[in-house]
Chain A
Amino acid sequence: MNACGEIDFGTPASATTTLVTLDIDGHAVTVPAGTSLIRAAAEAGVMIPKLCATDSLKPFGSCRLCLVEIEGRRGFPASCTTPAEAGMKVRTQSAQLAKLRRNVMELYISDHPLNCLTCSANGNCELQTMAGVVGLREVRYGAGDASPGENHFTDVVRDESNPYFSFDPGKCIVCNRCVRACEEQQGTFALTISGRGFDSRVTAGQDESFMDSECVSCGACVNACPTATLMEKSVIEKGQAEHSVTTTCAYCGVGCGFRAEMQGSEVVRMVPWKDGRANEGHACVKGRFAWGYATHPDRVTKPMVRAKISDPWREVSWDEALAHAASEFRRIQNKAGRNSVGAIVSSRCTNEEDYLVQKLVRTAFGNNNVDTCARVCHSPTGYGLKQTLGESAGTQTFKSVEKADVIVVIGANPSDGHPVFASRLKRRVREGAQLIVIDPREIDLVNSPHIKAAHHLKLRPGTNVAVLSAMAHVIVTEGLLDEQFVAERCETKAFADWREFVARPANSPEALEVASGVPAAEVRGAARLYARAANGAIYYGLGVTEHSQGSTAVIAIANLAMATGNIGREGVGVNPLRGQNNVQGSCDMGSFPHELPGYRHVSDTVTREMFENDWGVKIQPEPGLRIPNMLDAALDGSFLGLYCQGEDPAQSDPNTQHVTAALSAMECVVVQDLFLNETAKYAHVFLPGSSFLEKDGTFTNAERRISRVRRVMAPLAGMADWEVTCALAKALGYEMHYEHPSQIMDEIARLTPTFAGVGYDKLERAGSLQWPCNDAAPEGTPTMHVDEFVRGKGRFLITQYVPTDEKVTRRFPLLLTTGRVLSQYNVGAQTRRTANTDFYGADLLEIHPHDAEERGIRDGDRVGVESRAGRTVLPATLTERVQPGVVYTTFHFPESGANVITTDHSDWATNCPEYKVTAVQVSRLVGA
């Protein structure tokens, strides 16, 4: 079904640059070669009737409605499957065509209900529209003995199993769009057409309900449906939207563009924006459907204060809450020193909000104690890529994967964590690219419909560096280096040192096999495949970064890319898959305690002076505290006040006992959030936050793409988040003057060279921009390090494998690793407050059947999970996705206490917690 106000061009655009000119209805039309006639006509403003064609899917040619006449050719070819050719003369209207189309429509309508006035698609039904377009005035046929419109599926029961959309087979015209969308866009292959003739119908799975099938609820089929057969329940309930606003999803680091379809200030549905370059019209179950949390009854919309965390909350005015918070921060600073307070910002907040919080810390607090939740996910990416390539960011666009020949996925599970990118990746694999998966678990990409990894290096948790060094060993010792690239682009001595290091026998796959558990032959095969690829691309996630050697692993990945020349063009590169939508942005905005916006160190006098002159204050030249350091300092009494915006360390940070003890030791904790989260239990001031639907600003996704977030409803609490930060700064005695977030971006651009060309006007024109965006790259930079690295010469660094201190013992013989599922998002604050709990309602412990059998554990048993840090209870699920000796869980539900058992081991360079490796024992609970 068409998104509100969007034109459907019938088939996808052609990517070729060669142009052809043809004649359509007497008009000269010039289009790229390979463009279909239906699209060429649409681009010229001539809309040819259609039903099975839509511009998100390849042409199919089944409905016979888009027929045209071509001079010199016999018959009536379908315009969706006929490519435009130079000199072609096409007629889209004639008496014969009109008759053919009317006859086709008559047949369609003969088997379709005629209750249009009460149908949920009324006002946005392509079938209804086409009936009008072709001038259908009578229907002479019925199915079997039925009268026209007495559809033979009338008695078929609607499938209401999915919480977000319904499936009414009685309205299906068997156009195949849903089946094709599931295959082409999503890559799940959950749908098919079963039966023949009048019995033809869309079937999910093995004739199952949608909920019981493999359907992942991405909504692509609903989007593609031209009738009310597949329809959002929100549209059925509310009716069609009357306007739409383009904005950016607030979930993962893909940063999908969406059109929020509205009735007044109420969202009717979220539709993936087909011009959004991150997602190109696709979505996942979270962004597409799980937006109801924004108006959930749990939202707190009044500021609150309390003297002690054991006291009940007291609702107060904004002025009182802000004045109280400010006076408490000042009291603490007067007592314990300027550096005794700080702030944590969130990757769920906009660039403008993150920028303002770090500005508040550096101006009103007068220190550098600001950190972002990126600390606990991708801080090693920032360090590792800066050290080797010169910039703390991924190198490509998502679209780049369409040119990759070999794709390495390490420590990431895109099908669950970054599903819209996973669909792109799987499409490329179906086209013939080969896939290498490096992961302790058998993630979906290893083996799923039409996808099979060439190599799955099923390593032990904590041994990424060993495997990556072993791959480097193979590349160096088997002559697979791109010597020319390295000679021209990289530091000579650093490369020579690295080459000598990785060539040592100790770094061979055979030597490291014992540590990693990966057969040497598999490592050798994977290394050869990657190194010999015309285009080899590496994608990685938190399974790389959240280790005590997280930064080392990022460096090792960059080393591999440089050694094989896989950097600086499309189809290659080093691609961090960021966990949250604005991880990249929050880091860009100077939210780290040692860096000002644009990753410039606080000790850099020139940079500091630039900000000092603009802000009118002196900035400390020394780094401040990171999140784990803040918690440690709280326990020794030197850090007593925290402003925590949009982040929930009490649930999301490791070793919960340590975190809560530290929060309890603080004298003023200010939480700004949508809900009373776990951290709010330790807060003295609660400032109501705004959801993304209430925000104006920008997010920056994993491909450095800056996209607009647009307000579709007023902030429920009356103040936007950026206004709250300004008001708190004012209460602290530092005035900030902005009337709109665009002015904050103007300041960012003024002070940050990589953002110098960014502004809301340009974003409006361009849709989105990838930084660096400045005079050297006015329209942004899709691919980085093209002719030279940002740091000049690429820098190899030696990556010695150092086993983690988190060892298995007889007492803790299993290794726990963590991750997330498709339907839930991080600590679940948003998704737990939606119907996504129908898909995944509790964290589970995955355990291998052998380990379960040894412990007498059966599927579904509640089991105790104990580590050196703590103990929790989880339901067990037996699966061979995990290897013997490894267990796995998610961390979406606070009651499961996943972080009660994770430890405070962290990355050597950045203190990113080692969530991915915890030695545990699992035991069946007595009576379970």
Chain B
Amino acid sequence: MNPDTLIRMANQIGAFFEAMPDREQAVQDIANHLRRTWDPRMRTQLMATLGGTKEVNLKPLVREAVLALRQAEAA
């Protein structure tokens, strides 16, 4: 699927959670939202943007969440 679309959707999720006062919790909530509502192929493609040229388009908080998601799914 189009990685730009996935990044835009992930950043939208991030925009909701970044207002939360606890940053660590916000990161977990974003990762959790992705894990519970996104089809695995979408998550895989989003995680694949890490390390690529499009990674900079992820909001910092979302980037942390995608990293956390990748670590959790690798475990």
Q: Interface of A with B (CB < 8 Å)?
A: 339, 369, 497, 500-501, 548-549, 551-552, 593-594, 601, 603, 622-626, 629, 632-633, 635-636, 638, 798-800, 802, 805, 906, 908-911
Q: Report Cα–Cα, A910/B39, bound state, in Å.
A: 13
Chain B residues with Cβ below 8 Å from A802 are: 12, 15-16
Q: Report Cα–Cα, A911/B9, bound state, in Å.
A: 8
The answer to whether A593 and B39 touch (CB under 8 A), given A908-B15, A911-B9, is yes
Tell which of B2, B37, B41 touches A909, judged by Cβ atoms closer than 8 Å: B37
CB distance from B67 to the nearest CB of A (A): 20
B56 within 8 A of A: no
CB distance from A798 to the nearest CB of B (A): 5
Within B1-21, the residues touching A (CB, 8 Å) are: 1-2, 5, 8-9, 12-13, 15-16, 18-21
Chain B residues with Cβ below 8 Å from A636 are: 1-2
Q: Are A623 and B37 in contact (CB under 8 A)?
A: yes
Q: Report Cα–Cα, A501/B16, bound state, in Å.
A: 13
Cross-chain pairs A/B with CB under 8 angstroms, 29 sampled: A339-B41, A497-B20, A497-B21, A501-B19, A551-B16, A552-B16, A622-B40, A623-B36, A623-B40, A624-B39, A625-B39, A625-B42, A629-B1, A629-B39, A629-B42, A632-B1, A632-B2, A632-B5, A633-B39, A633-B41, A638-B1, A638-B41, A798-B20, A799-B19, A800-B16, A800-B19, A802-B15, A802-B16, A909-B16
Chain B residues with Cβ below 8 Å from A501 are: 19, 21
Overall SS of chain A's interface:
loop
Chain A residues with Cβ below 8 Å from B16 are: 549, 551-552, 800, 802, 908-909
CB distance from A592 to the nearest CB of B (A): 9
| Contact bitstring B24-54, A, C-beta under 8 A = 1, else 0 | 0000000001001111111000000000000
Nearest A residue to B1, CB-CB: A632
CB distance from A825 to the nearest CB of B (A): 30
Tell which of A369, A798, A800, A909 touches B13, judged by Cβ atoms closer than 8 Å: A909
Chain A residues with Cβ below 8 Å from B15 are: 800, 802, 908
Q: Are A601 and B39 in contact (CB under 8 A)?
A: no
Tell which of A497, A500, A622, A908 touches B39, judged by Cβ atoms closer than 8 Å: A622
CB distance from A348 to the nearest CB of B (A): 25
Chain B residues with Cβ below 8 Å from A339 are: 39, 41
Q: Report Cα–Cα, A638/B1, bound state, in Å.
A: 9
Chain B residues with Cβ below 8 Å from A909 are: 13, 16, 33, 37
Chain B residues with Cβ below 8 Å from A622 are: 39-40
* Further contacts, 19 of them, CB under 8 A, given A601-B36, A633-B41, A800-B15: A501-B19, A549-B16, A594-B37, A623-B37, A623-B39, A624-B39, A629-B1, A632-B1, A633-B1, A635-B1, A635-B2, A638-B41, A798-B20, A798-B21, A802-B15, A908-B9, A909-B13, A909-B16, A909-B37
Q: Report Cα–Cα, A603/B19, bound state, in Å.
A: 28
Those 4 A-B pairs whose CB atoms lie nearest each other, nearest first: A800-B19, A908-B12, A802-B15, A632-B1
Q: Are B40 and A548 in contact (CB under 8 A)?
A: no
Chain B residues with Cβ below 8 Å from A624 are: 39
Q: Are A798 and B19 in contact (CB under 8 A)?
A: yes
Q: Report Cα–Cα, A65/B9, bound state, in Å.
A: 69
Nearest B residue to A805, CB-CB: B8
Nearest B residue to A552, CB-CB: B16
Nearest A residue to B21, CB-CB: A497
Chain A residues with Cβ below 8 Å from B42 are: 625, 629
